[in-house]
Amino acid sequence: MDGALLGYARVSTGHQSLDQQHDALEAVGVTKVYDDKLTGTSTREQRPGLAALLDYAREGDTIVVVGIDRLGRNAAEVMMTIRDLGERGIVLRSLREGIDTSNATGRMIAGVLASLAELELELQRERRAASKSARRARGLPIGRPKALTAQQVEMAEQLRSAGQPMPDIAAQLGVSRATLYRTLAEGSE
């Protein structure tokens, strides 16, 4: 094996331990492990360990994970990472699933998983579009609700006309000054 054997471990909450994943990675010969402890939802940019690993890894290297799910929060994210690694000539090994993209069978399994992830994304897009269409047909609002009701906007305009400072109006209505300025600007258009 020419390249480096690199590991990645991730836990979803701060109180979980990475020890079990580290032990499994070390047992297969991994000496350099990148890891992340996450809380709440996260994006790839919020995972410094994964970002550092992907930046460090070079063609011919092998990245080892205990489970394929460690690479992301959902199937689509995991598959995009697998595809990126494949395009860069980096091998992926997942211990739990027995996936190894250095051989034809492993690449085929990763390809099937990637296809399923693309299907999942497409189905999600279709469901969102159908939901928007149904809401539109029923005359229901689409998207995020307005921060201020029509009555609150009217009250804000009256207070502004009376000379009350915008920061005071925003505090009284429980919104940021930026929201207040934006809402009043939209109303005057």
Catalytic residues: 12
Residue among 33, 37, 85 nearest 59 (CA): 85
Residue among 52, 51, 85, 56 nearest 68 (CA): 85
Residue 39 β-bridge partners = none
For the residues of 106-149, what is the DSSP string, one character each?
HHHHHHHHHHHHHHHHHHHHHHHHHHHHHHHHTT---SSPPSS-
Angle between helices 177-187 and 166-173 (to 10 degrees): 100
Backbone φ and ψ for 7, nearest 5 degrees, come out as -120, 155
